[in-house]
Amino acid sequence: MAKTIMQDKTMLFLVLVVAFFVGGPPVFTVITLDGGTGSSDPDGDPITFSWVQTSGTPVTLSDDTNPLPTFTAPLLLDDDPVGAGPEDDEVLTFELTVTDNRGLVSIPDSVTITITFVD
């Protein structure tokens, strides 16, 4: 009998802001990835999680085996000190794979996070 690990295929798309203050320190935003809310095993077997960053400025996940890992958003740097702020957004992509205690592995799912400068 075939067994499939179920996983929510609609992962939350986040648009996050890292704000800068003129004459003050930048604000560092902590982001939480959510792979646990929609992930389950049809037989109720325990499942484990594996997160991998696949693109963007490298960040360190708090725990890449946690269903809800966190990381600090990379700082957006302004290449033009006269301009209004960074011209480009920072895009990070993460991939999640879920495995049950029998070794059956889900199809990887991904989430894209866009960090935008707001003046």
- Alpha carbons 17 and 14: distance in angstroms, whole number: 10
Q: Give the residue among 106, 89, 113 at the shortest CA–CA distance from 45.
A: 106
pLDDT value at residue 90: 87
Would you put residue 44 in left (φ > 0), alpha (ψ -120 to 50) or beta?
Answer: left
Q: What is the chain's Cα-based Rg?
A: 18
pLDDT value at residue 61: 96
pLDDT tens series, the chain, 119 aa: 333 344 444 333 333 333 444 455 556 788 899 988 888 888 888 999 999 999 999 999 999 999 999 999 887 766 655 555 556 788 999 999 999 999 999 989 999 988 877 65
Domains and CATH numbers, the chain: 6-116 (2.60.40.10)
Q: Give the residue among 118, 64, 70 at the shortest CA–CA distance from 96.
A: 64
pLDDT value at residue 86: 53
